[in-house]
Amino acid sequence: MEPAAPRRGLEAPDNDPKIVAELEKVLACPWNEEEGFRTTSPEGEWVECAAFDAWNDNHDLLGDDSDKGALTLLNLAEDEDEKVRYLALDKMPARAHLFKDKVASERILTLAENETSERVAGPLGYAVGWIRVDKTDLLPRIKKLVETTKIPEMRTRVYGTLLRTNSSSREVFDYYLASLKNDDPKLRYTVLLSLQGGKEFASDTCNELTRLLEDPDGSVLGLAAQRLGYGDPCEAKFDALLSYAKKRAEAGGVKEFLLANALDNGCTRIQLSDAQRKEAESIARSLASGKNDDLVRESALGAVMSCNPKGGPAFVKGFSKDKSDFVKRGAERLLKKASAK
């Protein structure tokens, strides 16, 4: 006679009965494939369910021993019912001890490798990204998951949390750098959004942002420019940003409004030299006046005002009768804001 299969999910013997009882109340709530528990009526009205609201608002669900409660959630995440898995993973605490434990983390990865629900993949991807690679030695398996998953949201969520969790890991940081050379522009953009390593990687981060100014994808290069415009820790790269922005402004046809936004950020956030500030203003004026997308031109007007609060209004006033209604309204809004100060 074969031994009985171990009980899992809701039936796991070491579950906290209080957590299970609260979750089972939610299972009585309306659910559909498209909206999950956040359902709407045929008339388009929100269908409220008190049990679901209570589950979301219960910040004491795991009790005094949150690590023990997190293990119950991990058990529940192994249930066959998509609703149970979603509810459990959505409540998983990011700093639970189980993410430092190799056996528990392997269970999470096994779940991720076999998950087919797009709704569950979101919180499950976050959970994978919370795994401490220095404690578990599971980075190779995480990388394989990211490479092979057929659910884009899983990949996005892993990238969204893995480096934040392992901010001092050179291995993880280098993995992100390698991913930024991927042929898929959507993947590069996803990775760049989460390129937030520790202070020890600041120089490498700034060098990579500068390299990405030449990325063939407008979304990627625009985001890189915006990050450089924020300054800290990349103030020393602002001249490189100015050089690139000047080249693009002279060429015309600029579509990336974040390039103009980066100049605005630089004049607002960074302690620029007089020469840098004048150069940023000059480039912004060129972007506003050139044959560029309206959103670029409108953003550039804001940069002119930030780089030269005293002299900017006179330049911006010239756009109050621009042929583009969008640019015209932007100019009027900026002038009104300036006059109110």
Q: For CA atoms 290, 292, 297, 303, give the dihedral sign.
A: negative
Contact 279, 242 (CB under 8 A): yes
> CA dihedral defined by 140, 142, 143, 148, rounded to 10 degrees?
120
Query: Which residues does residue 36 pair with via DSSP β-bridges, in sequence order?
Result: 32
**What's the angle, vertex CA 111, arms to CA 107 and CA 116, rounded to 5?**
175
pLDDT at 5: 58
Identify the pLDDT of residue 8: 87
C-alpha–C-alpha distance, residues 319 and 327, integer Å: 7
**Residue 141 to residue 33: CA distance in whole angstroms:** 30
Burial zone of 130 (CB within 10 Å; 0-12 exposed, 13-18 middle, 19+ buried): buried
Nearest in space to 256 (alpha carbons), one of 284, 294, 219 = 219
Give backbone dihedrals phi and psi of 6, rounded to 5 degrees, phi first. -60, 140
- Residue 320's Cβ-count burial label (10 Å; 0-12, 13-18, 19+) is middle
Q: Which two tokens stand for residue 335?
A: 């002038």
Domain boundaries, the chain: 1-93, 94-197, 236-341
Q: What does the alpha-carbon distance between residue 51 and residue 13 come to, in Å, rounded to a whole number?
A: 24
Looking at residue 197, what is its pLDDT?
Answer: 76
Residues of the chain predicted below pLDDT 70: 1-5
Helix, strand, coil percent values for the chain (each to nearest 5): 65, 0, 35
Q: Per residue in 244-265, pLDDT tens? A: 999 999 999 999 999 999 999 9
CA distances from 265 to 260, 299, 333 (A): 9, 11, 18
Q: Model pTM?
A: 0.90
Question: What 3-state class would DSSP assign to 144?
Answer: helix
The DSSP 8-state label assigned to residue 46 in this structure reads B
Can you give the pLDDT at residue 15?
95
Of 250, 252, 266, the C-alpha closest to 304 is 266
Report the distance separating Cα 60 and Cα 248, nearest Å: 54
Residue 251: what residue type?
A: A
